[in-house]
Amino acid sequence: MEIPFLSFSAQHGPLKKEAMQVFEQFYDSQYYVLGKMTAAFEEDYAQFNEVKHAIGISNGLDALHIALKVLEIGPGDEVIVPSNTYIATALAVEMAGARVVFAEPDEKTYNISPKEIEKNIGPKTRCIMPVHLYGQACEMESIMNLAGRYGLKVVEDNAQAHAATFKGVKTGAFGHANATSFYPSKNVGALGEAGAITTQDDGLAYLCKVWRNYGSEKRYHNMVKGYNNRIDELQAGLLSLKLKYIGQWTQERIRLAQRYLSNLSKGPVVLPYIHPDASHVFHLFVIRTPQRDALQKYLDENGVKTVIHYPIPPHLQEAYRSSGYNPGSFPIAEELAQTSLSLPLYPGLKDEEVDYVSDLILKFYKNR
Ligand SMILES: Cc1ncc(COP(=O)(O)O)c(C=O)c1O
User: Would you call the peptide bond into 310 cis, given omega within 30 degrees of 0 as the criterion?
Assistant: yes
> Are 47 and 189 part of one and the same domain?
yes
> Are 225 and 200 part of one and the same domain?
yes
> Are 290 and 159 part of one and the same domain?
no
pLDDT, tens digit, 9 for 90 and up, residues 58-115: 999 999 999 999 999 999 999 999 999 999 999 999 999 999 999 999 999 999 999 9
Average pLDDT over residues 256-277: 96
Q: The CATH number of the domain where 201 resides is what?
A: 3.40.640.10
Out of 57, 58, 61, mutate this one to test ligand 1's pocket (max ligand atoms within 8 Å of CB): namely 61
Which of 213, 243, 273 corresponds to the end of one domain? 243
> Are 98 and 199 part of one and the same domain?
yes
Nearest residue to 292 via CA among 356, 361, 360, 340: 340
84 lines ligand 1 (CB under 6 A): no
Residue-averaged pLDDT of the chain: 97
The answer to whether position 73 is within a domain reads yes
Q: Are 220 and 206 in contact (CB under 8 A)?
A: no
> Are 255 and 169 part of one and the same domain?
no
Which of 198, 213, 243 corresponds to the end of one domain? 243
Nearest residue to 50 via CA among 232, 143, 178: 178
Q: Which atom of ligand 1 is nearest to the CA of 59?
A: 10
Whole-prediction pTM = 0.98
Phi-psi region of 57 (alpha: psi -120 to 50; beta: other; left: phi over 0): beta
Compute the distance between CA of residue 347 and CA of residue 10 in angstroms, rounded to an integer. Answer: 6
Residue 131, pLDDT > 80, answer: yes
> Are 234 and 262 part of one and the same domain?
no
Domain limits at 255?
Answer: 246-366
Total of domains in the chain: 2
Q: Are 207 and 90 in contact (CB under 8 A)?
A: no
Angle between helices 60-70 and 202-212 (to 10 degrees): 120
Compute the distance between CA of residue 176 and CA of residue 350 in angstroms, rounded to an integer. Answer: 39
86 lines ligand 1 (CB under 6 A): yes
Q: Which atom of ligand 1 is nearest to the CA of 61?
A: 11
> Are 189 and 286 part of one and the same domain?
no
The answer to whether position 3 is within a domain reads no
Q: Model confidence at 346, in pLDDT bands (50, 70, 90)?
A: very high
pLDDT of residue 216: 96
> Are 194 and 151 part of one and the same domain?
yes
> Are 47 and 91 part of one and the same domain?
yes
Average pLDDT over residues 338-362: 98
Q: Are 250 and 281 in contact (CB under 8 A)?
A: yes
Residue 161, pLDDT > 80, answer: yes
More confident residue, 368 or 17: 17
Looking at the chain, the whole-number percentage of residues with pLDDT higher than 70 is 100
DSSP reduced 3-state for 343: strand
The answer to whether position 2 is within a domain reads no
